[in-house]
Every structure is written in C-alpha cells, then in structure tokens.
Chain A
Amino acid sequence: QKEVEQNSGPLSVPEGAIASLNCTYSDRVSQSFFWYRQYSGKSPELIMSIYSNGDKEDGRFTAQLNKASQYVSLLIRDSQPSDSATYLCAVNRNTGNQFYFGTGTSLTVIP
C-alpha cells in the first residue's frame, strides 16, 4: 500500500465549476498535509498546508482534513483554465523527515 494515494485522473471540469481533489494516506501518525500544484515541466508550487481537522480556506482554495478517515481534499471554487495542472498531495509523519507525495491528479478546466 502506498503512503499517499490519489486518483490520477484526468479530472475535467468546466470553467466556473468546483473541482474536488482527493487524497488518502496510510499512516495514522501523519500530522502535516500539503497540496502542491505542478504545471507541466515546472516544479511543484505550494498551494495549501493543513495541520488540524476541519476546513482551511485561502481565496478560491479550501483544504479539508479528516484524520479519523485519513483523508485530505482540496476544493477549487470558480475554476479557471489557469488552474489546469497536476495537483500533488504530500504528507509528513512528524516522526521522520520524509515527505510522501502522491502521484498527482491531473486537472483540466475547460473554457
């Protein structure tokens, strides 16, 4: 079982819709959770970090964490074509120095 699982997609949504990206992780002691956006040929860019259960909002982005279900998600409201990218979920256990990344979900926002 992989440390971090994501649906690879591709996920397509129309412009203006809500895009929902999901991630599950295997290690219950994980404490820190991150969403990165990666455009093709570019490096990952941090979008959100979340450390406690519940929702965290930043502009059009909302991260949701449920530690009991070992589940973290990212919602993108009012999706724009410029949001088209691969979204990587990353998890840190706090017991080590390793960040575990999922394989990423490819999102396409259709104008």
Chain B
Amino acid sequence: GAGVSQSPRYKVAKRGQDVALRCDPISGHVSLFWYQQALGQGPEFLTYFQNEAQLDKSGLPSDRFFAERPEGSVSTLKIQRTQQEDSAVYLCASSPLDSNQPQHFGDGTRLSIL
C-alpha cells in the first residue's frame, strides 16, 4: 500500500480528554496537510507542513489543536481538552512537492466526542 495511511480510523473520547491522530503520508511526499470535515461539508484546512516545517497553521481553530511532523514524514495532530464541537472527520493529505499539486488523501479519522 503506497497511499496515505491514517490511524486510528475511529476514535471515541470523552469531553476533556486529549487525543492524538496519526498520518503516514506517501513516501517521499514533501507537503502534508490536515483538514477537518464536518458532516455534509467540504474539508476545511487546518495546517500545512513542508517537510518538517509547519509553514501554515492558520486554520487551527484554537490553541487546543497542535500538529507536528518532527522528521518530515509521519505527522501527528493532537487535540487537547476535547470539546463536542471537535467531533468531525480529520483528513490528512500529501503531495509530492509544492502545495499547488493535487493532494492525495488518507481515509481519515472519525472523531466522536461524547
């Protein structure tokens, strides 16, 4: 499998708990994106990495959201003190070079906050 891999596929957490979502992009892809997709909506941009550098985090909804990609490959999106409004599908996408190229999406993590 050479696609974008995300884990877990489903995550249920109680309000107030911290969660960590993992993304393993296509090998060699420089650009990595995180999106949040609410039911019936299109993906909303959260943050962008070029290799290990987080170049844009303007879409992160609050300081409870944190993302990292320390070695320029696998990325983790962490949400602290989860709230019910954080319930959504979190999509990771990667592209070979710059951000203008088509992105390849993982299957997403469906997060439900009780």
By a beta-carbon cutoff of 8 Å, the part of chain A in contact with chain B is 4, 6, 8, 31-32, 34, 36, 42-46, 49, 88, 90, 92, 94, 96-104
Contact = CB atoms under 8 A, between A and B. Distances in A.
Contacts, number: 59
Contacts of A46: 102-104
B100 to A, nearest CB: 5
Given A97-B31, A99-B99, A100-B45, 20 more contacts: A4-B42, A31-B100, A34-B103, A36-B105, A43-B108, A44-B43, A44-B105, A49-B102, A92-B99, A92-B100, A96-B99, A97-B50, A97-B99, A98-B45, A98-B56, A98-B59, A99-B33, A99-B45, A101-B35, A104-B42
A101 B42 contact: yes
A30 to B, nearest CB: 11
B56 A96 contact: yes
25 contacts: A6-B42, A34-B102, A44-B43, A44-B105, A45-B105, A49-B102, A88-B42, A92-B100, A97-B33, A97-B48, A97-B50, A97-B55, A97-B56, A98-B45, A98-B56, A98-B58, A98-B99, A99-B45, A99-B99, A99-B103, A101-B42, A101-B43, A102-B42, A103-B40, A103-B41
